[in-house]
Structures are given as structure tokens and as C-alpha cells.
Amino acid sequence: MRPIDLRSDTVTQPSPDMRAAMAAAEVGDDVLERDPTLARLEVRVADLLGMEAALWVPSGCMGNVIGLMLHLKRGDRFLAPAQAHVLGSELGTAAWLAGGMPEALAWEGGPGRPTPAQVTKTAGSPGPYYSLCTTLLCLENTHNFAGGTVTPQAEHRALVAAAKAAKLAVHLDGARLWHAAAALGLPPSALTEGVDTVQVCLSKGLGAPMGSLVCGSKPAMAEARRLRKMLGGGVRQGGVMGAAGLVALDYLPRIPEDHAKTQRLAEGLRGFGIAAPVPETNILLVPVPDATLALATLESAGVRTLPVGPAIRFIPHRDLAMADIEEALRRIEPVAHLLRRA
Ligand SMILES: Cc1ncc(COP(=O)(O)O)c(C=O)c1O
């Protein structure tokens, strides 16, 4: 039985047109000068996000740590929503490499979302010379571990305004910003307003084998290029990956299809009496009585998922059709009782 892989939107295979574009890519040496295909991709993404400049980096983690390194001095405190990827899933690089002291903000504005008042209160005002300096707010839209939740545009603006009033820079982890924009029916640039830097991924949901872009002002991106090299991310003929990224962007108009698959999966699970929430984007977190048991049972039934705390995570993606979601539901039905909470 072919497993239906719903662990992540990163498990996608490069499509035939993507592989063809990679094979035909015009390339240069991106350390010595600029790779022309990466340069094209950077212009396209900066434009999509309404930012001045962009820099390709191999991964989302590298994009985030570069963003943090640009804004933090050693010992500075930064604020981020609780369970943000930069807090719990990047090996502490925010502290280890960027020198930041993290402060998690509870989700008082909704799942994955702090309120502007929390930003103001936690940032406080400058104290005596020996006090901690808070210099950065790091947002995440969509918020992965809250279940792909979206920060709407007005809330984004208010969070940025609160940060600016407290003299904080703003970095946005937009690994799945595309999905937030699609869910709101807005261009991605509507959700970057006011940020100093943003990181977006091409390998999550869009199908590229690797690659993210960190975006900001031209001087910030010149410094980001130095930091990328320092972190071992200065690649040579990166245009092979840049070409994949350009094809990946063509998937943007189809993101709503993945959201529809996620909705259908949630609805089907609820039909079996499982406590599946209504997903906002492509991530579905289902609380279950025993995540280890549920995961193993689903795996033997031919449905692959990942545990996230007491829940299991399903992420439909471009390599799965709606028919695969229906097949996943058929496979889950006989074991559904193990996913039901008492
Ligand atoms: C919200 C978020 N930020 C950053 C990353 C890191 O991306 P990468 O795995 O490309 O380093 C991920 C990965 O899943 C993510 O979900």
C-alpha cells in the first residue's frame, strides 16, 4: 500500500517542469559575483513582498537567524509568540548565533497571536543602564505550531505599530506567509507592511527542494549576504535551485486548493467523531488521547503524520490530490476510535 504522506508540506517532489527548469538554468558564481537566476528570483520575491531587496538562502532557519543577527546585539531580548519556530525548533540559534534572549508572548490575541498591548507591556520602557534591552519583535504568519493560524492584516499592522512605538525592530518568519495571504485573499505584500525583515520559504507548500528568501532594505541585504557566507550558505551555481524557486512561485495561485483539501480532511475526521478544528490554512492539528499510539496506528493504516505535543499534525500538499484525501479518510475510518477523545 502506498503511504499517504501528510507529515509536512516539505515532502513534495520537484515536479517535471521544475526539474527541467533546474537542468536548463542559467548560472554564475554567487559568491564571486551574482548568479543570474538567483538574482532574478530575488527581484521577483522582493517585488511580491513589497520589500526593497531579497537574498536567497538555503533554508528557512538560515533566513530567520540572519534576520535575528541583523537586529540583535549580544544579550538583547527579543519577543516572539509562544511556540514560535525561532523559539523551539531552531536549536537555540537565536541565542547561540544571534545572541538574543527570548521572551515568549502568550497567545492572548488568538491561537499563535499575541496582542499589541502585550508587546507594549513586555517591551516596557528603557530602564537604567544595567537593564535588559529589548530590541526586536519576531512575528510568525502563519503560525506553524498553533495549527497554521493566520494573523489578519489589521492585527499585523497593530502589532508592528506597537513594536515601533516601543522602538523595536520587526522580523517576520513568513515560512508560510503565502498561505496566510491566500487565506485572507490579499497579496503577500499586505502582510509585510512595516517589517524590517521577512523570511519566506519556497520549500513549504510550493514544492522547491530547498530555498528561502530573507528580505529587507538594500543595506540590510548587503549585510545579510556577509552573514550568509559566514554561516556557510554562500553557494556557487545556486541558480539551479533558483530556477526551482521560480517555478515554485507559479504554484501561489493554487494554494487555495491545498486549503480546500485540509478543510475536507478536517470535515471528514469530524464526521468520525474526532475533535478536528476548522483549519485556517494547510495545517491541521488534531488533539488525540495518545499521540504515540495514534501516530503508529495511522502509519500502519498507510497514513503518515507527525506528533505535535498532544496532537497529530496533518498537512495536505501539492503532491496529494483531493482523491488522496478521500483515500486517507477511508484508511482512517476503521481506526478512528483511537483518535477520539473521551
Ligand atoms: C514557521 C517556520 N519557520 C521556519 C522554518 C524553518 O525552515 P527550514 O526547515 O527550511 O529551515 C519552518 C520549517 O518548517 C517553519 O515551519
Distance 123 CA to ligand 1 centre (A): 26
Distance 245 CA to ligand 1 centre (A): 16
Spatial contact of 231 and 80, defined as CB atoms under 8 Å apart: no
Q: Are residues 239 and 320 in the same domain?
A: no
pLDDT in tens, 101-132: 999 999 999 999 999 999 999 999 888 999 99
How far apart CA 74 and CA 95 sit, in angstroms, is 8
pLDDT in tens, 204-246: 999 999 999 999 999 999 999 999 999 999 999 999 999 999 9
Q: Are residues 274 and 311 in the same domain?
A: yes
Q: Are residues 244 and 289 in the same domain?
A: no
291 backbone dihedrals φ, ψ, rounded to 5°:
-65, -35
Q: How far is CA 185 from CA 17, 128, 150, 160, 188, in A?
A: 27, 46, 12, 21, 9
Q: Which of 249, 271, 298 is the last residue of a domain?
A: 249
| CATH number, position 265 | 3.90.1150.10
Pick the residue whose CA is nearest to atom 7 on ligand 1: 60
Q: Are residues 177 and 273 in the same domain?
A: no
- CB contact set of 4 (below 8 Å; sequence gap of 6+): 302, 303, 304, 320, 324, 327, 328, 331
- CB contact set of 231 (below 8 Å; sequence gap of 6+): 62, 65, 66, 97
Closest approach atom of ligand 1 to CA 140: 1
Q: Which of 211, 231, 249 is the last residue of a domain?
A: 249
Residue 2 lies in a domain: no
Task: Look up the domain containing 204 and give its range.
Answer: 16-249
| CATH number, position 53 | 3.40.640.10
- CB contact set of 77 (below 8 Å; sequence gap of 6+): 100, 101, 102, 103, 132, 133, 134, 135
Pick the residue whose CA is nearest to atom 4 on ligand 1: 60
Mutate to test the pocket of ligand 1, among 7, 142, 177, 201 (most ligand atoms within 8 A of CB): 201
Closest approach atom of ligand 1 to CA 173: 3
Q: Are residues 52 and 164 in the same domain?
A: yes
pLDDT in tens, 28-74: 999 999 999 999 999 999 999 999 999 999 999 999 999 999 999 99
Q: Are residues 243 and 266 in the same domain?
A: no
Q: Which of 224, 249, 274 is the last residue of a domain?
A: 249
Classified as helix, coil or strand, 308 is: strand
Residue 3 lies in a domain: no
Residues within 6 Å of ligand 1 by CB: 59-61, 64, 85, 140, 144, 173, 175, 201, 203-204, 212
